[in-house]
Structure 1
């Protein structure tokens, strides 16, 4: 205890203020109250810290009475017990061993959190954006003190007076100039980690990695049998694809991820704090072979953090960069995406999986005109599909709150091959990010293309129902293809093919697919079984599998129709279109059999009808909810929608086990329970790529 008070005395002699551990200063609240306050002439902030050395300020360094030099904030002992830090969102309770800094604008933070902000050049309040005259920083103590778990000496620095008009504008996040070419990405070090994988004597490592890692192809016909003498003008065949599962002892493909984050003025306060927490979760769950870059945009855009591997050092640097974010300015989505695309375009090396995450809570006021909006202008050409319709870089867009431009965010994701999620409730932003990266960290199939070929000489393809996936039928209508792109582990895709079959024909189609294994770079080609129909005079049995997928496609079509009507001001017509589909749905064979997918469709349609109750409700949430639903159905991929990621909506029909695991981990981290802490291992540990022991 004596050594601690020596440090206090030393600090007083240096004209600095020290936060001492609470239990070494006072044993109860009365002891805090008994400390005399300084006279009004010496009060500055609620922290009441002493003037730093004279080269930082013009205040004389003449010592004042010791009682005035060490005044502990009452907010630390009382009101802070009911507060949370706006940066880390953790509680600021008395006796938890953490120093509390209260600025002159009256907002309080953990000292460690706000000191990290200041370290990166921020000199304004993260909550109210008030310009501070005094900023906190940390002074290191000696090694012996750190080994004894003593606190670092914390001091306050008086800022020099502003020059000219610089005080009107917040300090930039980083003072260093931004390079013109983003070719400074950290080098890759790809090695298949087989430390947890046992290879048998008669198998090569590649054979072992590919064991069970094949796409599964199944086909279903709409009825089991067809009358011999009947001609089929429009006969439906379901193509069902399922990606291989992930295994705990199988390494995964590493990811290049660029996050493009809105830090406009409307993000100030709770929104920005929750975004920082969500980004912290993403950073902690990326592996040492994954790379992350951070773009922040408001009126302009800046690369806040270059493309770096998420090693232990990389994670800490990325967390510091994210914690330095300050909300201010307008919303320039196009410029943010341009910077994000440039990071991807200029990188020297590429990980097998690449993606951009875009989050915004507002509307682009720099590129889009409200009269005749052209949303294509927001998406850079470098991330759009090329002539062969292969998606380059999917942009997974997240609309945050009720004021974002859902139409533009949906258009961006749709054009790039990504998904659009609607985050209605601020608190689920971390779960929404978790669901997204749960998929990205489990990609097992790259550039998948499905091929369809008619077998019989007089069999022809009528149409392909493939949602937003690019598909084509050749002019002779004998062959067709669907560009599926990447698949997450355990992910499924269903496509409907309509064919014309003449009398007596039994052989219909052959289905095949080609793709690349992202881990081994191996090109894989698979042939499915030939599709045949049985002809007899028995009563035909309807396929539930085909019927439920037909209902899914009809639901998406009804949603698109309702949205078009609502945009034209006909909310009653929109509700009527949804209600008409719901009545038809309930009469189908799959719905009557109790199919869960159909039950989810019905619940989703009801929710959409409620969100079209008035123009105000539609503008606030209905449009975003419908567009997120259309995105989910058209890509057959899970999106966050409304105020939950684990509700009863159809979004759960597309969730993969990896997504569910990551969302569970996110929710456990928010609860902070002991059982949750056991779940909080990095995602990459599930796939066999583990960091080296320290």
Structure 2
């Protein structure tokens, strides 16, 4: 990839974060109720680079990383542990004295460095010695390793509490957990429900009956590894001294969560799609049907229970999505109004958190790990899940992750959306957890961080009321963005209005905005992948393939069929379908790849080694850097 000179980049690159709003059409009739699909886009600034193509040290935030490494016996197969060790040595080399690194090792027991080490010459030598002496052990106490890593981050944050991020002070840090495993949790907490609950509940003692775990606060007492000193684990104090960070972690959610849904496993329905004249509902995915004309979009069947914000229309129950029904295309009726959504949590609810204190990146090696758990953990921590099917991909995956962390451009992003002039927000898709301040009128989205060159495209459906007369500039939405800009070390606030025209007659050449359409495709396709995976997990491989083929036909005939996002979606659905040819192939990697791909598109962040439009310049550079490192 050609790199511009440092001087040219500095002249061209804006240090401010971008905010823009787009609607699917510019015009809507004024004398009738209308629906408008809207995309609110957040564009990260591009980090400035030095002469070697690295992110400028003065422009990036210090990293606080804890590598949580599975050293169970199975890690000895296929040279997995050896590749992890080489990768960790590369990570150590890439960090500078402004960064800190800690290590947690877990098998049946959990050991750690106790604190994060400054990556100066002394700290690098200390961690390098530890990594080089790493050997495999016994079972897999994943929960113990994760909680120890989070507690180490929390201890450091307590030490740093009260620091100033203003001019002349050290910038806000990027704190992350890198959790690695090749198997299922079989010691400590072993169920996904308990592990997730431990991260999201303040009263964690309920999950640790006496004698079952070594620390009632949920943290395995660290034992010093360096110098081969092994201190005996000690009982921590009771709930009064429990870690606040773990209790404040955002509730782990499926990335397809919609508004107030609180289930970690429940999926939301695919986003409805409408043309300019009417809404139509597609028959269930298992039934063959005639596809619509190229510019006519239809609503995909909901994979699970439909959830919407209540509207003024009468609420009715949708028919079961997989129920067979015979219906000719000309008999299609407008979809029934959806049922009311559960009451969303209030702004002060402990169910959700505005800011995730440490991002969690998970790495699953081979086909024997719990992909659902690793994806849920990464969603809870605003990170991503990497599926690594061969040992050779371990370094490249870590290089991708490290490149992203080093190029973090903004943190603590909060997006507030307000519907104006009597409009109502009926659907919202932001990829991560959401909370509503005033259901249907305003919604606040905590979006975590954003890395250099990334976009966050949040999709909304607005119900527009009828108005008595035409209007050339009619405001339907106001967006307000607040974040900490890492590059400028300043709190940044941006606002934007979205205006449309309310007219008597629609223009004959009215056509949908391809950019809005491609993000509707992105949301719907990710949800279809998730539901197809559910069918495959139940043994219905044919039904899963058919669902993917249907969705591919829809996006190929859409207004954005030539856009980058849509073409990558089409390619990725082919990758998932290739693993649906047999139950064995699905179980030995296909289901992991499906989770990986679905999350990538919902989170809009690269999480594998394939070429992707979500990969930024720094991620690509770190992959190239490791190639040189491994040839030493």
Q: Assess same fold via TM > 0.5.
A: yes
* 1:528 aligned counterpart, secondary structure: strand
Alignment counterpart, residue 392 of structure 1, candidates 357, 367, 370? 357
Q: Superposed, which structure 2 residues align to 1:224-239 within 5 Å?
A: 224-232=26-34, 234-239=35-40
In structure 2, the CA distance between the partners of 1:431 and 1:575, relative to structure 1 (3 Å rule), is same
* 1:266 aligned counterpart, secondary structure: helix
Matched, 1:509 2:481: no
Residue of structure 1 in register with 2:177 after alignment: 356
Q: Deviation of residue 507 (structure 1)?
A: 1.8
State the distance in 2 between where 1:490 and 1:240 align: 12
Residue of structure 2 in register with 1:346 after alignment: 155
State the distance in 2 between where 1:513 and 1:286 align: 31
State the distance in 2 between where 1:537 and 1:634 align: 33
Q: Deviation of residue 520 (structure 1)?
A: 5.7
State the distance in 1 between where 2:188 and 2:598 align: 25
Q: Superposed, which structure 2 residues align to 1:135-284 within 5 Å?
A: 212-232=14-34, 234-248=35-49, 250=56, 251=58, 252-268=60-76, 270-284=79-93
State the distance in 2 between where 1:520 and 1:321 align: 36
CA contact (8 A) 1:367 1:377 kept: no
Q: Superposed, which structure 2 residues align to 1:682-693 within 5 Å?
A: none
Residue of structure 1 in register with 2:506 after alignment: 537
Alignment counterpart, residue 366 of structure 1, candidates 187, 196, 199? 187
Residue of structure 2 in register with 1:580 after alignment: 550
Q: Superposed, which structure 2 residues align to 1:316-327 within 5 Å?
A: 316-327=125-136
CA contact (8 A) 2:41 2:458 kept: yes
State the distance in 2 between where 1:489 and 1:533 align: 34
Alignment counterpart, residue 617 of structure 2, candidates 641, 653, 657? 657
Alignment counterpart, residue 563 of structure 2, candidates 576, 582, 595? 595
Residue of structure 2 in register with 1:607 after alignment: 575
Residue of structure 2 in register with 1:450 after alignment: 415
Q: TM-score, normalised by structure 1?
A: 0.62
State the distance in 2 between where 1:437 and 1:245 align: 16
Identify unmatched segments of 5+ residues in structure 1: 1-195, 198-207, 673-694
* 1:654 aligned counterpart, secondary structure: coil
Q: Deviation of residue 564 (structure 1)?
A: 1.6
Q: Deviation of residue 396 (structure 1)?
A: 0.3
- Greater relative contact order (CA < 8 Å, ≥ 6 in sequence): 2
Residue of structure 2 in register with 1:109 after alignment: none
State the distance in 2 between where 1:534 and 1:656 align: 39
State the distance in 1 between where 2:445 and 2:138 align: 43
State the distance in 2 between where 1:534 and 1:325 align: 67
State the distance in 2 between where 1:666 and 1:526 align: 38
CA contact (8 A) 1:474 1:480 kept: yes
Residue of structure 1 in register with 2:427 after alignment: 463
Give the RMSD, CA atoms, in angstroms.
2.5
Matched, 1:334 2:334: no
State the distance in 2 between where 1:662 and 1:439 align: 9
Q: Deviation of residue 353 (structure 1)?
A: 1.2
State the distance in 2 between where 1:627 and 1:337 align: 21
Q: Deviation of residue 569 (structure 1)?
A: 2.5
State the distance in 1 between where 2:131 and 2:353 align: 37
State the distance in 1 between where 2:631 and 2:145 align: 33
Matched, 1:376 2:196: yes
CA contact (8 A) 2:22 2:498 kept: no
State the distance in 2 between where 1:255 and 1:670 align: 23
Alignment counterpart, residue 569 of structure 1, candidates 527, 539, 560? 539
State the distance in 1 between where 2:550 and 2:424 align: 32
Q: Deviation of residue 473 (structure 1)?
A: 5.3
In structure 2, the CA distance between the partners of 1:469 and 1:369, relative to structure 1 (3 Å rule), is closer
State the distance in 2 between where 1:272 and 1:630 align: 28
State the distance in 2 between where 1:511 and 1:466 align: 14
CA contact (8 A) 1:464 1:471 kept: no
Residues 104-158 of structure 1: CA distance to partner in whole angstroms, max 9, x if unpaired? xxxxxxxxxxxxxxxxxxxxxxxxxxxxxxxxxxxxxxxxxxxxxxxxxxxxxxx
* 1:585 aligned counterpart, secondary structure: helix
Q: Superposed, which structure 2 residues align to 1:302-313 within 5 Å?
A: 302-304=111-113, 306-313=115-122
State the distance in 1 between where 2:76 and 2:464 align: 62
Identify unmatched segments of 5+ residues in structure 2: 1-5, 51-55, 162-171, 202-244, 251-349
CA contact (8 A) 1:305 1:318 kept: no
* 2:115 aligned counterpart, secondary structure: strand
Q: Deviation of residue 323 (structure 1)?
A: 0.7
In structure 2, the CA distance between the partners of 1:670 and 1:659, relative to structure 1 (3 Å rule), is same
Q: Deviation of residue 228 (structure 1)?
A: 4.6
Residues 250-288 of structure 1: CA distance to partner in whole angstroms, max 9, x if unpaired? 521101100000111111261111111111111111111
Residues 465-513 of structure 1: CA distance to partner in whole angstroms, max 9, x if unpaired? 11224242514x3222211111111111101111111234622111110
In structure 2, the CA distance between the partners of 1:322 and 1:261, relative to structure 1 (3 Å rule), is same
CA contact (8 A) 1:295 1:303 kept: yes
More displaced stretch, 431-440 vs 360-369: 360-369
State the distance in 2 between where 1:663 and 1:224 align: 42
State the distance in 2 between where 1:369 and 1:340 align: 17
Alignment counterpart, residue 415 of structure 1, candidates 367, 380, 387? 380
Residues 410-457 of structure 1: CA distance to partner in whole angstroms, max 9, x if unpaired? 22212222211100111011110011011111112111111112232x
Q: Deviation of residue 242 (structure 1)?
A: 0.3
State the distance in 2 between where 1:428 and 1:497 align: 37
In structure 2, the CA distance between the partners of 1:520 and 1:245, relative to structure 1 (3 Å rule), is closer
State the distance in 2 between where 1:355 and 1:522 align: 21
Q: Deviation of residue 227 (structure 1)?
A: 3.8
Residue of structure 2 in register with 1:200 after alignment: none
Q: Deviation of residue 595 (structure 1)?
A: 2.1
State the distance in 1 between where 2:118 and 2:501 align: 53
Matched, 1:300 2:109: yes
Q: Deviation of residue 608 (structure 1)?
A: 0.7
Residues 387-409 of structure 1: CA distance to partner in whole angstroms, max 9, x if unpaired? 43421212100001122221221
State the distance in 2 between where 1:215 and 1:419 align: 22
Q: Deviation of residue 549 (structure 1)?
A: 0.6
CA contact (8 A) 1:243 1:488 kept: yes
Q: Deviation of residue 573 (structure 1)?
A: 1.9
Q: Superposed, which structure 2 residues align to 1:608-687 within 5 Å?
A: 608-640=576-608, 645-647=609-611, 652-671=612-631
State the distance in 2 between where 1:328 and 1:215 align: 47
* 2:19 aligned counterpart, secondary structure: strand
CA contact (8 A) 1:451 1:511 kept: yes
More displaced stretch, 532-541 vs 612-621: 532-541
CA contact (8 A) 2:17 2:485 kept: no
State the distance in 2 between where 1:226 and 1:358 align: 49
* 1:646 aligned counterpart, secondary structure: coil
Residues 618-640 of structure 1: CA distance to partner in whole angstroms, max 9, x if unpaired? 11101110111122122111101
State the distance in 1 between where 2:433 and 2:613 align: 19
CA contact (8 A) 1:225 1:541 kept: no
State the distance in 2 between where 1:373 and 1:380 align: 10
